[in-house]
Amino acid sequence: MNNNEKIALVTGATRGIGTETVRQLAEAGVRVVLAGRDAGKAEAAATPLQAQGLPVESIALDVNDAASIDAAAKAIGERFGRLDILVNNAGIMIDDISKGVSGQGMDTWRTTFDTNLFGVVAVTKAFLPLLHKSQAGRIVNVSSALGSMALHADPASPIYHFKVPAYDVSKTAVNAWTVHLAYELRDSAIKVNTIHPGYVKTDMNAGEGDLDVADGARTSVRLALIDADGPNGGYFHLDQALPW
């Protein structure tokens, strides 16, 4: 391994935006560890990228399983000694829209927060020691415009009438976590930002959307590769700052 080569980990990367984020980072010369909760699926997603000559490896990492997170952190620490980029991409949307805002079951709320918020916090905490060993650590939390309280409260915004409560609120919480973590890391070499990939055609929305997957990965990749003058504690889509 080239000591100047950046090392990245992308969670929830066995399909869609996650896999494309891995591809684009690898094409930029980053050695990327493609993580998925199922080792076989992670390996299957990494294989075609490896066949293209891209520097991609796979690992099992279930963001809902503390032992799995710790094992992945230990393995990456032993393999590389540091981590330069963490992309917290894993997420779920399981709301039943027909039930409205107050009709979602508590299991839906708890399951959504377990993955979309608590999984992000747990993974970040486990990998922070390795990120501190980087000369320029970067954390990208994949959120959504649906996490913007300002947009949800504005009758003129495009999402005003689109409420997916458990998912939306979990992403609002991810945004808040990002701001708090950025404050803690403000005097370090680590920068943390949160992003909206866009309304992307993925399995999560049954292929509906305005953007293809390649465009959906671009914001994560851009924030993962920012230099020392880049933002910390921001909320972005491509190069546009979004309202909290």
Domains and CATH numbers, the chain: 7-241 (3.40.50.720)
How far apart CA 192 and CA 232 sit, in angstroms, is 5
Please name which of 88, 92, 90, 86 lies closest in space to residue 168, comparing C-alpha atoms. Answer: 92
Predicted pLDDT of residue 208: 56
Per-10-residue mean pLDDT of the chain, 244 residues long, equals 82 96 98 98 98 98 98 98 98 96 98 98 98 98 97 96 97 98 98 91 55 90 97 96 97
Residue 167 annotated to the active site: yes
Q: Three-state DSSP class for 60?
A: strand
How far apart CA 227 and CA 172 sit, in angstroms, is 26
Predicted pLDDT of residue 211: 75
Residue 235 annotated to the active site: no
Among the options 167, 191, 201, 235, which is catalytic?
A: 167
Residue appearing with tokens 């969670």 = 11
Please name which of 176, 32, 70 lies closest in space to residue 117, comparing C-alpha atoms. Answer: 176
How far apart CA 22 and CA 12 sit, in angstroms, is 10
Predicted pLDDT of residue 213: 85
Q: Three-state DSSP class for 58?
A: strand
Among the options 171, 191, 201, 235, which is catalytic?
A: 171
How far apart CA 20 and CA 217 sit, in angstroms, is 6
Q: Give the pairing type, strands 56-60 and 85-88.
A: unpaired
Predicted pLDDT of residue 4: 76
**Amino acid at the residue 107:** D
Predicted pLDDT of residue 220: 97
Predicted pLDDT of residue 2: 56
CB 31 within 8 A of CB 57: yes
